């Protein structure tokens, strides 16, 4: 049997297996659209190798099979690039890709049908594929800068090397004229060695990225409070430890705040737990809008919340919480207009000489208790009996 037939059949089967694996991953891992795009891309890749296999068996149909192979190759690499852009939330720019891909197909068809130099058609297709790989790599680079999803550093370098290889292959294709010259033989050998390896690598890394994204999503679910969509106690403590360590290492101030909605049980009893849940959600949104991106905010449980404010001294922490306290009634008052809604706060400063997060939280909790005992709706600084904010009249 012709060795080329064995190689092409193996490539066709491998691409088909990657297509099936990615389709299963799409169905299993949340039906992410980029997984479907990658599955379709490797389905087209399998079709490309099938067409090449038919070209070996039926050389008399060389021209139409070549044109179909050009279309499937270009479509496959375009879908790979679309999948990577879709995964990191970048604009897909399908219109631009369709325009460039369509122009490439038309010029390649012209080169196949009317030009004596078929190397132009080969080069056009390879250059387009190289461009799509560059688009894919840039998408991963944007992801690494934004830190939005699981890191694709290894995939970035693999795509970059694959794009460079394809670019060199395209330059070599321009130098080919007939299938009998030595340049074409070198081009053909490099194509059969490099292209399958690169595509197989893209497929494997696509699977790895899908699995990493799923693991990251599960980690975020485990660390987030399902009602308010902020950190739960476990997620908060894990996220706060690096900030505490940095504060102690460089001697920077760090404030810990414990907040508690006043008489929350009364709200649940009078208006129902549905309204109580809505109040908690509005409070979380209100606090989230008042703090910085670098600040941490979590729910300890029930109506109790916690914040860590890095590079913030006691006066600054009290000022931030005072804005939260004063704006709370307006933020959630529409939910229970007949009942005054207020919150109490306890603020503690981290002792950079060795204070642990748990100790700072305990002192903030003691300060919160004093706020409750002194009439609620106020801010109290730990280890300082002075009330830091003038209270409104406490709700009955």
Cα(136)–Cα(131) distance, integer angstroms: 9
Kindly state the tokens that stand for 295. Answer: 């600040």
Kindly state the tokens that stand for 57. Answer: 């068996």
Question: pLDDT tens across 163-200, in order?
Answer: 999 999 999 988 876 666 788 888 888 888 888 889 89
Question: pLDDT tens across 245-284, in order?
Answer: 999 888 899 999 999 999 999 888 888 999 999 999 999 9
Contacts 24+ apart (CB under 8 A), 123-128: 123/170, 123/171, 123/173, 123/174, 125/70, 125/73, 125/74, 126/166, 126/167, 126/169, 126/170, 126/173, 127/166, 127/167, 127/170, 128/74, 128/77, 128/100, 128/101, 128/104
- The answer to whether 3-223 and 233-381 have equal CATH topology is no
The kind and range of the H/E element at 344 are strand 343-349
Q: How confident is the model at residue 58 (pLDDT cuts 50, 70, 90)?
A: low
Q: Does domain 233-381 have CATH number 3.30.70.270?
A: yes
- Residues facing residue 69 across a β-bridge: none
Q: What is the mean pLDDT of the chain?
A: 86
Using CB atoms within 10 Å of the CB of residue 366, give its burial: 0 to 12 exposed, 13 to 18 middle, 19+ buried.
Answer: middle
| Domain boundaries defined on the chain | 3-223, 233-381
Q: Does domain 3-223 have CATH number 1.10.890?
A: no
Range name among 47-56, 234-243, 247-256, 273-282 with the lowest pLDDT average: 47-56
């Amino acid at each position: 049997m012709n060795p080329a037939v064995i190689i092409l059949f193996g490539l066709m089967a491998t691409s088909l297996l990657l297509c099936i694996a990615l389709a299963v991953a799409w169905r299993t891992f949340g039906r992410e659209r980029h997984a479907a795009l990658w599955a379709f891309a490797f389905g087209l890749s399998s079709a490309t190798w099938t067409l090449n296999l038919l070209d070996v068996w039926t050389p008399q149909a060389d021209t139409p099979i070549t044109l179909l192979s050009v279309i499937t190759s270009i479509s496959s690499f375009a879908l790979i690039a679309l999948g990577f852009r879709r995964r990191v939330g970048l604009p897909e720019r399908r219109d631009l890709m369709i325009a460039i891909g369509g122009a490439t197909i038309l010029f390649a068809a012209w080169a196949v049908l009317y030009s004596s130099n078929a190397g132009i058609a080969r080069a056009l297709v390879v250059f387009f594929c190289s461009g799509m790989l560059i688009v894919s790599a840039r998408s991963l680079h944007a992801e690494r800068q934004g830190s939005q999803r699981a890191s694709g550093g290894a995939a970035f370098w693999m795509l970059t090397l694959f794009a460079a290889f394809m670019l060199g292959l395209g330059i070599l294709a321009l130098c080919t004229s007939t299938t009998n010259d030595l340049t074409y033989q070198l081009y053909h050998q490099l194509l059969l060695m490099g292209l399958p390896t690169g595509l197989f690598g893209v497929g494997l890394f696509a699977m790895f990225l899908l699995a990493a994204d799923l693991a990251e999503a599960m980690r975020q679910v485990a660390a987030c409070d399902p009602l308010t969509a902020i950190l739960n106690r476990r997620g908060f403590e894990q996220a706060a430890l690096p900030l505490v360590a940095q504060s102690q290492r460089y001697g920077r101030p760090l404030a810990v705040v414990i907040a508690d909605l006043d008489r929350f049980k009364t709200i649940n009893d009078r208006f129902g737990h549905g309204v109580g849940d809505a109040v908690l959600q509005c409070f979380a949104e209100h606090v989230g809008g008042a703090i910085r991106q670098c600040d941490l905010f979590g729910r300890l449980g029930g109506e109790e919340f916690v914040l860590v404010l890095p590079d913030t001294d006691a006066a600054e922490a009290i000022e931030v919480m005072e804005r939260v306290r004063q704006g709370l009634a307006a933020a959630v008052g529409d939910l229970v207009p007949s009942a005054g809604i207020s919150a109490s706060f306890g603020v503690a400063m981290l002792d950079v000489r060795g204070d642990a997060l748990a100790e700072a939280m305990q002192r903030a909790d003691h300060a919160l208790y004093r706020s409750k005992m002194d009439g609620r709706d106020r801010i109290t600084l730990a280890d300082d009996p002075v009330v830091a904010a003038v209270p409104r009249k406490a709700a009955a």
